[in-house]
Structure 1
């Protein structure tokens, strides 16, 4: 992770305003790969340290949500284990994000979105603080204000959580 004191002061000020971080799942919590078994079942790998980081965000009063276009029980099971609300089978991620914001009475200047692929751009281009993972699709990287050092599924979510913790706890 980049040392938090090397993060531009404008970015630090954005981070301090964030009340909701919405994440894509595949390619952010995972390495964007899937194991497919003979019976059609799927498996993905996730980074265990993400849970500790997400709990830190929640302890700071930041709402954490997952918005996924996938129809996959893996997303819901992982979210349940992490204690995070997840919505899957979402065709319009921005519309779903707007519903979340309305329900939480939060404006877009209080929202970050973490994505990795072109189907995340509607949210990334809408929120105050768009974030992408290091190994995001090349068409996405230019839309982010922060790009993680870690790849999706390999500590990127934890890196984001630690960044928010460090910036918010900075004197």
Structure 2
């Protein structure tokens, strides 16, 4: 008899490394260009706080993105994300390199993506997540889909799902409340 497939919560409980795409996940996917040709990306502070919570709970975070931007470097530094891979033409190849660098196996990795370039990583990870406004092919392959749109709280939602699945949510909340002994 075959074992029942793992639930999203069971998959989330195993995650040691959570990887995020940027455009459409940590941002809403908008690119705002200046007259000089520079562009800006709006990041959500609650999403950023969620990534900080993961780090505090001992879950590593990483970024794999197809674009290259100094804005992403700056945001990753603020959030203390140690694994940042930009300009990834083939995200699955970069994922393999990240696995070698960290020593993790795919089953303990999570990935949140929103479009076709993310599929090669999502289908390998133990936990695949997608923002609510992701492409239908991505949603079809995700183990979990947020209620929020990319750049508008989707990353925070997935961070809280991981914390709850790993029984760390209450501990992190107690720290935020300044509870004694927390």
TM-score (norm 2): 0.85
**Larger-Rg structure:** 2
Q: Deviations over 1:107-130 (max 9, x none)?
A: 111011110010001001111111
1: CA distance, partners of 2:125 / 2:38? 35
Q: Which residue of 1 aligns with 2:40?
A: 43
* Stretches of structure 1 lacking an aligned partner (at least 5 in a row): 1-7
* Residue number among 16, 21, 25 corresponding to 2:22 in the alignment: 25
* Residue number among 13, 33, 57 corresponding to 1:60 in the alignment: 57
- What is the CA distance between 1:150 and its match in structure 2? 0.5
1: CA distance, partners of 2:7 / 2:123? 18
- What is the CA distance between 1:10 and its match in structure 2? 2.3
* Stretches of structure 2 lacking an aligned partner (at least 5 in a row): 171-182
TM-score (norm 1): 0.90
1: CA distance, partners of 2:136 / 2:9? 25
Shift >6 Å, 4+ stretches: none
Alignment of 1:68-87 (within 5 A): 68-85=65-82, 86-87=84-85
Instruction: Establish whether residue 134 from structure 1 lines up as the match of residue 169 from structure 2.
Output: no
- What is the CA distance between 1:146 and its match in structure 2? 0.4
Q: Deviations over 1:61-87 (max 9, x none)?
A: 111000011022221111112111311
Task: Compute the RMSD of aligned alpha carbons.
Answer: 1.7
Alignment of 1:87-166 (within 5 A): 87-166=85-164
Question: How many aligned positions are there?
Answer: 164
